Chains A and B, each alone.
Chain A
Amino acid sequence: MSDNPFPVDKAGLLEAYRMMKTIREFEERLHIDFAKGDIPGFVHLYAGEEAVATGIMMHLNDRDRIASTHRGHGHCISKGVDVHGMMAEIYGKETGSCLGRGGSMHIADLSKGMMGANGILGAGAPLICGAGLAAKFRGDGGVGITFFGDGAANQGMVLESMNLAAVWNLPVIFVCENNGYAEATSRDYGTAVKSYVDRGAGFGIPGVHADGTDFFAVYEVVGELIKRAREGGGPALLECEVIRFFGHFEGDAQTYKAKGENEYNRANRDCLKIFRAKVTEAGVISDAELDAIDGEVAELIEDSVASAKAAPLPSPKDLMSNVYVSY
Chain B
Amino acid sequence: MARKLSYKMAVNEALDLEMTRDPTVILMGEDIVGGAGSPGEDDAWGGVLGVTKGLFAKHGARVMDTPLSESAYIGAAIGAAACGMRPVAELMFIDFIGCCFDEIFNQAAKFRYMFGGKAETPVVIRAMIGAGYRAAAQHSQMLTPIVTHIPGLKVVCPSNAYDVKGLLIQSIRDNDPVIFCEHKNLYAHEVDVPLESYAIPFGEAAIPREGRDATIVTYGLMVHRSLEAAEKLAREGVDVEVIDLRTLSPMDWDTVIESVEKTGRLIAVDEAHPRCSIASDITAFVAQHAFRALKSAPQMVTAPHSPVPFSPTLEDIYIPSAETIAGAVKKTIIQKMVAA
Taking beta carbons and an 8 Å cutoff, which residues of A are in contact with B? 65, 67, 96-102, 106, 108-111, 115-116, 118-120, 123, 125-131, 133-135, 137-138, 144, 156-157, 160-161, 163-164, 167-168, 321-327
Kindly list chain A residues whose C-beta atoms are within 8 Å of the C-beta of B154: 324, 327
15 A-B pairs with CB atoms under 8 Å apart are A99-B116, A100-B116, A119-B106, A125-B72, A130-B77, A130-B78, A131-B79, A134-B83, A137-B24, A157-B71, A164-B69, A164-B72, A326-B176, A327-B176, A327-B203
B residues touching A (Cβ–Cβ < 8 Å)?
A: 24, 26, 62, 64, 66-67, 69, 71-85, 87, 102-103, 106-107, 110-120, 151-152, 154, 174-176, 203, 250
Residues B115 and A157 in contact, CB atoms below 8 Å apart:
no
How distant is the Cα of A65 from the Cα of B203 in the complex, in angstroms?
Answer: 35
Shortest CB distance A245–B (Å): 27
Nearest Cβ distance between residue B26 and chain A, in whole angstroms?
7
B118 surroundings in chain A (CB, below 8 A): 98, 108-111
Cross-chain contact B107 with A123 (CB below 8 angstroms): yes
Closest to A160 in B: B72
| Chain B residues, Cβ within 8 Å of A120 | 102, 106-107
User: Within the assembled complex, what's the spacing in Å between the Cα atoms of A12 and B112?
Assistant: 35
Selected from A101, A127, A157, the residue in CB contact (under 8 A) with B116 is A101
Given A99-B117, A161-B72, A123–B106 Cβ distance below 8 Å? yes
Residue of B nearest to A144 (CB): B79
A125 to B72 Cα, complex, angstroms: 8
Does B67 contact A97, Cβ atoms closer than 8 Å?
no
Give min CB distance, B113 to chain A, whole Å.
Answer: 5
Question: In the complex, what residue of chain A is closest to B102 when comparing beta carbons?
Answer: A120
Give the distance to chain B from A153, nearest Cβ to Cβ, in Å: 15
Contact between A164 and B76 (Cβ–Cβ < 8 Å)? yes
Q: In the complex the two chains form, what is the Cα distance from A135 to B107 in whole Å?
A: 20
Q: Given contact pairs A96-B116, A126-B74, enumerate 7 new A-B contacts (beta carbons under 8 Å).
A: A126-B73, A130-B78, A131-B82, A133-B79, A323-B112, A326-B174, A327-B154
8 smallest beta-carbon distances between A and B, as pairs: A126-B75, A130-B79, A99-B116, A127-B79, A322-B117, A130-B80, A98-B116, A160-B72
Given B24, B77, B119, which contacts A108 in the complex, CB threshold below 8 Å?
Answer: B119
Chain A residue numbers with a CB within 8 Å of B174 are: 325-326
B62, B76, B111, B250: which contacts A327 (Cβ < 8 A)?
Answer: B250
> Which chain B residues lie closer than 8 Å to A167 at the CB level?
67
Q: How far is the CA of A163 from the CA of B176 in the complex (A)?
A: 28
Alpha-carbon distance between A73 and B193 when the two chains are bound, in angstroms? 52
- In the complex where A108-B115, A326-B175 touch, is A67 in contact with B120 (Cβ < 8 A)? no
Known: A129-B76, A164-B76. A102 touches B115 (CB 8 A): yes
Do residues A127 and B107 form an inter-chain contact, with CB atoms below 8 A?
Answer: yes
